[in-house]
Amino acid sequence: MGGLRVTVVGIGADGHLPPASLALVEGAEVLLGGERHLALAPPVDGQVRAAWPRPMSSLATFLGEHDGRRVVALASGDPLVSGIGTTLVRLLGPDAVEVVPAVSSVALARARMRWSAEESTVVSLVGRDVAALRRELAAGARLLVLSSDERTPLAVAELLDTDGFDDARMTVLGDLGTPQESRYTGIPSDLGAWTGPQPRLNVIAVEVPTAEDDTNTWATGIDDGLFEHDGQLTKRDVRASALSRLAPRPGHLLWDVGAGAGSVGIEWLRAHPRTSAVAVEADPERAERVARNAATLGVPRLEVVIGRAPDALADLPTPHAVFVGGGATAPGLLDLCREHLAPNGRLVAHGVTLETEALLVEAFHAHGGELTRLSVEHVTPLGGRFTGWTPARAVVQWSWTKESR
């Protein structure tokens, strides 16, 4: 597709195209878009019109059929807001795609709600698990939720009701920018009784009341009690230390090897919405538990791989960080993780047994890095009116950063 260039034109839900955008559409040899978008565009003699392929995994082949022609693609509002524009840029590269936006549904929703960009957060549930909303649910939050379809509002209402946000205020804004624009406002439990039309195109505004007992936080080392586990859990104080060295960054991938309850991978994902993580766990029951914990804590995008390291790591994409919380003594595992790391990648490994400790000490002497022994004690009752310190099992932590090439 060396000669293919695509101009992506945003179109309003009412079919409005400003003069410059209309000229691009009318001048196209090939017009692409969803069936709804194509029906909104004015007819042009001799113009080839094609709806997006299904499944979209065949998009590259589909676009290749129009190589060398003037191609325009239609998209709702701003094509780079959960739109086809983002997909095309990733596929073709930024130099092959021109984007001409219209007013986005996000901008229209903010205008209807009188919410500023600084005071609100956009959450996309387009093609995503509704559990992703949980990361953003905090007292005083104003959320603009991009829906997949007419079923999304009820799914959001059920999640809010189940998770104890039954007093949140929901406003469903349907068909924004069209003569059929609709608005429904109520608390989550009311939505099931809504008898009005269920608009397929909608944005949900969620306003969470302020509260003094808010527990949602993006700090590392969240309460151990938030995780379902069987004892195989990297405890919060040690977890916070590991995450500070793993250093989550936007666009970076973590391998959480020997995931246990998945706490490190989950907190890595909670740190930023553009992080990604793979949890590798040999025990199928624990792997299911990891997935449940991820959904409960608002990061259902965590990928869970059932398998034993190092074999289970063979086909995984290159990580920017690796956490080895269990199984570090598996032959060759630490060396394999070091080799697979991207330049400037971070490796953190924990050990609680003498055998693992000896291995980490050896790795430290061979490769450098930082070796830390973490001892945590908590006050517990001793009987009567007395209390004392009870030590947890000490953890040896080896952290290492790969040099850039």
Reported as a single tens digit per residue, the pLDDT across 235-276 is 999 999 999 999 999 999 999 999 999 999 999 999 999 999
Closest CA to 292 of 269, 258, 266, 325: 266
- For the chain, the average pLDDT equals 93
Residue intervals of the chain classified under CATH 3.40.1010.10 are 6-103
Q: What is the mean pLDDT of residues 143-169?
A: 94
Question: Domain spanning 224-401 has what CATH number?
Answer: 3.40.50.150
DSSP-derived secondary structure for 67-119: TTS-EEEEEESSTTSSSHHHHHHHHH-GGGEEEE----HHHHHHHHHT--GGG
Tokens representing 348? 């953190």
The residue with greater pLDDT, 131 or 198, is 131
Q: Which pLDDT belongs to residue 182?
A: 92
pLDDT at 50 over 60: yes
Residue intervals of the chain classified under CATH 3.30.950.10 are 106-207
Q: Which pLDDT belongs to residue 213?
A: 64
Start-to-end Cα distance in the chain: 32
Extended strands (E) in 169-327: 169-174, 182-186, 202-207, 253-257, 276-281, 303-306, 321-324
Q: Which pLDDT belongs to residue 125?
A: 96
Q: What is the mean pLDDT of residues 33-44?
A: 93
Q: What is the mean pLDDT of residues 148-156?
A: 94
pLDDT at 1 over 60: no
Read off the pTM: 0.90
Residue intervals of the chain classified under CATH 3.40.50.150 are 224-401
3-state SS assignment for residue 146: strand
The distance from CA 239 to its chain's CA centroid, rounded to whole angstroms, is: 21
Distance CA 378, CA 223 (A): 14
The distance from CA 97 to its chain's CA centroid, rounded to whole angstroms, is: 25
Q: Which pLDDT belongs to residue 236?
A: 95
Q: Which pLDDT belongs to residue 2?
A: 60
pLDDT at 216 over 60: yes
Q: Within a 13 Å sphere around the CA of 357, how many CA atoms are in the beta-carbon half?
A: 10
Question: Domain spanning 6-103 has what CATH number?
Answer: 3.40.1010.10
**Helix axes of 284-296 and 263-271: crossing angle, nearest 10 degrees:** 30
* 106-207, CATH topology level: 3.30.950
Q: Which pLDDT belongs to residue 3?
A: 74
Extended strands (E) in 282-362: 303-306, 321-324, 346-351
pLDDT over 90, % of the chain:
87
Distance CA 232, CA 289 (A): 11
Q: Which pLDDT belongs to residue 384?
A: 84
pLDDT at 36 over 80: yes
Q: Which pLDDT belongs to residue 8?
A: 97
Distance CA 349, CA 14 (A): 56
pLDDT at 212 over 80: no
Residues 156 and 204: beta-carbon distance below 8 Å: yes
Structure confidence by residue, pLDDT tens digits, 311-340 = 999 999 999 999 999 889 999 999 999 999
Q: What is the mean pLDDT of residues 170-191?
A: 93
pLDDT at 197 over 90: no
Q: What is the mean pLDDT of residues 96-119?
A: 96
Q: How many Cβ atoms sit within 10 Å of the Cβ of residue 170?
A: 22
Residues 6 or more apart whose CB falls under 8 angstroms from that of 243 comprise 220, 221, 264, 267, 268, 271
